[in-house]
Structure 1
């Protein structure tokens, strides 16, 4: 175990080094296309090259390192996670999986192992979707499912995604060339912090992901009439902010009544031309709904849209309802997950299966390849904020499991 702890400490040191690359001097923020993002990509590229990979940055900003098998017509196992962050982020969400992948490949090279398949390690460029309000830009490109209409999407400053891609050195016209054809995939493996409290409460270092919740994001704009705060009577107002507030609380109540099956969150709120003495005339919020059941998601979106319409009708407002993103629930591959369970047991740990309420790049990759994921315990399940933390022994445990998994997968494919 001493070697695994040594490797875990090296992984942690690199996680900390990457965390120091940020748009904000006071916290970790590394959004797609920013100077900090470009610098972070460069650092990860150099680490991949040091590990012996043929590395490059593709047109969407994914950092990709490849190790080709000597076997003719070998398929490709992709090991991946992401290096973009939310604003005021933690250190581990995404980078843990990327840097563990680099460590894994470095040690496989030391063993001089003969792979029966190719390995491509990918640091996806945009899983969080913070800047352009749409997730999985990197993994959709690799899966061949990038929606070119998104190139016209703008950030909060009016910069289009097309221009942001050019800024990082990519060519929007060549995005399709960066896809791995479906017939070339062997599978997909991602290591990620749990982002929930189960492993922490049960004192387990790792778990196998069985499924990933479906997710829908909606932009809701309430259109009222702005007016003077001192002259318009309370019963004659068409206050867009009051309508938005009522909708937010109604959303909370709706989800609370089916808490085992649905999660709903209003995460942003923008008041157009806000002033303390002006009645808000236009307010935009984002709605995030998640469920492991597609029928629940569909019903929730329909019901919440009806609730918004009813609120507007009562307050004499209108609402624009814009669907930004839809992903279906995903089941992880049975065969790969079985090998992963064997690896957990061989490493000396209890096998635990979990459902992921958080979205991951595995969601988009599942459309073209079998996927599996390993969760790693994080402190109290805290994520998407600075208190996010993973202990060295848990990183070491995940490293050990990943080693066993790759060796078992290698043995399976050598027999084919």
Structure 2
């Protein structure tokens, strides 16, 4: 082999067969949706229950002992070599956004199932392996992300019980209707002292692996995030009779504020998105008196994120003063940056190298993941799979069967490396 030659990553025969199963399962779960013709599966819905039942069957067929926890997350477990063996968690989520793709979250859960079956086929490992299919990562129904993994991490906030969905159903009432007891949600929490760590495989929700020409990547950290609900209060007046100098237009204030978010974040190399906007009174011949919009702000580090937000707030204040409108942001979500543990990322990197990729790509995840919650109680690491064009939260989201196969080989090696390292330290 010449110095310029490279080994082409190649999946094992076992991985190719398992990848075909994983992709078929993704297609089957895509049919579990509350909407005809598109994928929508939200927390504590009939579709949540159906998805759990389907995946529970696949877990049991793979030899895992299964249960649903007090927050509606589905678990599957293979015991370790000893009764007191520590636990390595693997998983992702089964819920979706509205009109979703079929791989976000789901592929990580299904890869974890096949990986556990593969690495325990010859007998138990020095660690117990537990797959967690988290029930609410997206926050689609109640507007609060990471509910399922927050319960598992033991950081449930009692203030969340009053959150309401679009129909006015509270989280507490939805729990009860689903058959869960709100008073027992704390029972979903894991025991941190028993954990070795958490590994999550996930499609990349951006174009960086495709640009690098690599199927798999090692995640170094997960975005620091803050979300805000912003209200702009102006004055509703007659559209024909009110001259421009007398207008206090809430919609134009919100529109200018949205452009300021983009301008500032591009300049500061952060990611800011205004994803929703509503206007009242919403009449064609009335100057808008009220506008509500969202801001989603993400960065690699908490300090930079907060500094950029202060710059955005200053811009909001200037726009509001100039237009005679009051702009009030209210924070609705905050998540610190999570940095992946070196010993676990080394295991993930070893797994990718084992497929034939000599220099695995390292990526900062701009999207949030359940690993953010688990990072509060144990070490975490993530494996990204290439997503052509980087499109996600959209029906065109995709990962190839060949890349899934490579990911399965890499994840199996990573799990075995973690187990071997634990045995060596014992």
**For the superposition of Structure 1 and Structure 2, which TM-score range results when normalised by the shorter chain?**
over 0.9
TM alignment of 1:314-329, pairs within 5 A: 314-329=322-337
- Secondary structure of 1:305's aligned partner: helix
- Whole-angstrom CA distance in 2 between matches of 1:346 and 1:127: 31
**Deviation of the 1:273 alpha carbon:** 4.0
Map of 2:28 onto structure 1? 17
Map of 1:346 onto structure 2? 354
8 Å CA contact 2:150–2:373 kept in 1: the answer is yes
**Deviation of the 1:190 alpha carbon:** 0.1
**Deviation of the 1:175 alpha carbon:** 1.1
- Whole-angstrom CA distance in 1 between matches of 2:126 and 2:422: 6
**Deviation of the 1:323 alpha carbon:** 0.5
**Deviation of the 1:279 alpha carbon:** 2.4
**Deviation of the 1:108 alpha carbon:** 3.3
Matched, 1:206 2:216: yes
Matched, 1:82 2:93: yes
**Deviation of the 1:59 alpha carbon:** 2.5
8 Å CA contact 1:90–1:385 kept in 2: the answer is yes
8 Å CA contact 2:350–2:410 kept in 1: the answer is no
TM alignment of 1:266-285, pairs within 5 A: 266-285=274-293
Map of 1:383 onto structure 2? 392
TM alignment of 1:247-262, pairs within 5 A: 247-259=257-269, 262=270
- Secondary structure of 1:267's aligned partner: coil
**Deviation of the 1:158 alpha carbon:** 1.6
Q: Deviations over 1:166-197 (max 9, x none)?
A: 22222111111110022121100000011111
Per the normalisation by structure 1, the TM-score is: 0.95
Q: Deviations over 1:315-336 (max 9, x none)?
A: 2222222101111111100011
* Unaligned segments of structure 1, at least 5 residues: none
Map of 1:311 onto structure 2? 319
- Whole-angstrom CA distance in 1 between matches of 2:151 and 2:30: 25
> Once superposed, what is the RMSD of the aligned Cα atoms?
1.5
- From 29, 39, 49, the counterpart of 1:38: 49
Cα distance change on mapping 1:309 and 1:155 into 2, 3 Å: farther
**Deviation of the 1:151 alpha carbon:** 1.1
Map of 2:66 onto structure 1? 55
- Whole-angstrom CA distance in 2 between matches of 1:285 and 1:387: 26
- Whole-angstrom CA distance in 2 between matches of 1:330 and 1:41: 28
- From 324, 330, 341, the counterpart of 1:333: 341
- Whole-angstrom CA distance in 1 between matches of 2:68 and 2:240: 56
- Secondary structure of 2:235's aligned partner: coil
Per the normalisation by structure 2, the TM-score is: 0.93
Q: Deviations over 1:213-249 (max 9, x none)?
A: 1000011011122233333333222221111001001
**Deviation of the 1:163 alpha carbon:** 1.5
Map of 1:234 onto structure 2? 244
* Unaligned segments of structure 2, at least 5 residues: 1-11
Matched, 1:136 2:167: no
**Deviation of the 1:414 alpha carbon:** 2.4
Map of 2:408 onto structure 1? 399
8 Å CA contact 1:347–1:404 kept in 2: the answer is no
**Deviation of the 1:366 alpha carbon:** 0.9
- Whole-angstrom CA distance in 1 between matches of 2:119 and 2:342: 25
Cα distance change on mapping 1:275 and 1:56 into 2, 3 Å: farther
Cα distance change on mapping 1:273 and 1:51 into 2, 3 Å: farther
**Deviation of the 1:106 alpha carbon:** 2.4
8 Å CA contact 1:208–1:374 kept in 2: the answer is yes
**Deviation of the 1:381 alpha carbon:** 1.4
**Deviation of the 1:127 alpha carbon:** 1.0
